[in-house]
Amino acid sequence: MTIKSRKKNKSNLWYGVIPLYLFTLTFVCGPLIYMLVLSFLSRAEVWGVEKVFTLSNYIKIFEPVYFNTFIESLKLALLTTAITLLVGYPFGYFMAKLSSRGKKVMMLLVIVPFWTNALIRMYGWIIIFRSNGLLDKLLMGLGLTDKPLKLLYSFPAVLVGMVYALLPFMILAIYSVSEKLDWSLVEAARDLGATRLQAFLTITIKLTLPGILSGVVLVFIPSMGLFFIADILGGGKFMLVGNLIRDQVITTRNWPFASALSVLLMILTSLIIWIYRRVTHVKDLEGLV
């Protein structure tokens, strides 16, 4: 290929991108704007939406019933994130220290569950948690408890389901940053007089911070909206933001209110990503790619 024709090709590339932009505009930006507009409109008496501007949808969020849902969701999301971090950090960190063969095996073990639909995997937890289920039988068999614990449809069950579903994201985020960690820096710290713990606190944590934060973002954001886990393992007793939005769309058919809730949720998550960027100065989420 001559230089001239290559040049020509390059300028032609511009046209090739148009369909992509059109697609993004139509299916990403369009719905977002639609949702934003919708959140300022009123609900029609019988069906659909009336084109009357109002802020009542946003005000309604702060009614105790709905506001508590936000608080509950936030509580669950924070707990989920904290637990995945506590479990996922050592997991990802030590995984990065394995031999390349060990890494491959562990990576496979982390990823294999994704090959099954998340919904189906949640039903698996029902078998474990239900009264006289696997866990109860095990605990009673060991003589640790004498009657079923009634774990299913409780807050801990939902929490376990959340942690289970989101842990791989934390592990992969931590692993990805630990893998790139220059271990000689830890050795240098030890050489300069730091104990293992001091070296970990002053060097390792600081240098794996981007991974920690991206793991937090990757876990926290979905855990605000994963409504099916609360449904399956919480038995409808737990109303989270995700459940609320779904119910407002499908059952109550209050689309403007559902939009307002979604906008608030998006603002919340954008805020977290903004903090992440401010702290790490990284544009892409570590471990996401």
Partner 1 sequence: MDTILELRNITKSFGKTEVLKDISIQIGKGEFLTLLGPSGCGKTTILRIIAGLEEPDGGRVFLNGVDVTEAEPNKRDVNTVFQNYALFPHMNVEDNIAYGLRIRKTDKKEIAARVAQALELVQLSGYNKRYPHELSGGQKQRVAIARAIVNNPKVLLLDEPLGALDLQLRRQMQMELKRLQKRLGITFVYITHDQEEAINMSDRIAVMRDGVFEQIGTPAQVYDLPKTSYVAEFVGNANLIHGRTIEIKDGVASIEAAGGLVKATVRDKQPVPGMEVTLAVRSENIKLYTCSSQTGIKCRLKEISFAGGMQKIFLQLEDGTEVVSSSLGMNLAFEPNSELYMSFDANHGVLVDL
Region near partner 1 per CB under 8 A, out of 51-59, 81-89, 121-129, 188-196: 188-196
Residue 97 as a binder of partner 1 (CB under 8 A): the answer is no
* Among residues 86, 206, 275, 279, the one that binds partner 1 under rule CB under 8 A: 206
Site of tokens 């024709």: 5
Residue 195 as a binder of partner 1 (CB under 8 A): the answer is yes
Residue 184 as a binder of partner 1 (CB under 8 A): the answer is yes
Q: Note whether 218 and 285 are within 8 A (CB).
A: yes
* Among residues 120, 193, 251, 278, the one that binds partner 1 under rule CB under 8 A: 193
Residue 49 pairs in a beta bridge with 43
* Among residues 194, 249, 264, 266, the one that binds partner 1 under rule CB under 8 A: 194
Q: Note whether 53 and 47 are within 8 A (CB).
A: no
Q: What is the Cα gyration radius of the chain?
A: 24
**Which one, 76 or 199, has the nearer CB to partner 1?**
199
* Residue ranges with strand state E in 222-261: none
Q: Work out how close the CB of 185 gets to partner 1 at its nearest, in angstroms, rounded to a whole number.
A: 5
Residue 145 as a binder of partner 1 (CB under 8 A): the answer is no
Cβ neighbours of 183 (radius 10 Å): 12
Q: Work out how close the CB of 97 gets to partner 1 at its nearest, in angstroms, rounded to a whole number.
A: 15
Q: Work out how close the CB of 210 gets to partner 1 at its nearest, in angstroms, rounded to a whole number.
A: 11
Question: Nearest CA to 214 among 244, 179, 188, 176?
Answer: 176
Distance of CA 61 to the CA centre of its chain: 23
Residue 185 as a binder of partner 1 (CB under 8 A): the answer is yes
Q: Work out how close the CB of 180 gets to partner 1 at its nearest, in angstroms, rounded to a whole number.
A: 12
CA distances from 198 to 13, 70, 177, 180, 189 (A): 53, 39, 20, 20, 8
**Which one, 49 or 185, has the nearer CB to partner 1?**
185
Residue 188 as a binder of partner 1 (CB under 8 A): the answer is yes
Distance of CA 51 to the CA centre of its chain: 34
Q: DSSP secondary-structure letter at 50?
A: E
> For binding to partner 1 (CB under 8 A), which residues are involved?
182, 184-185, 187-195, 198, 202-203, 206-207
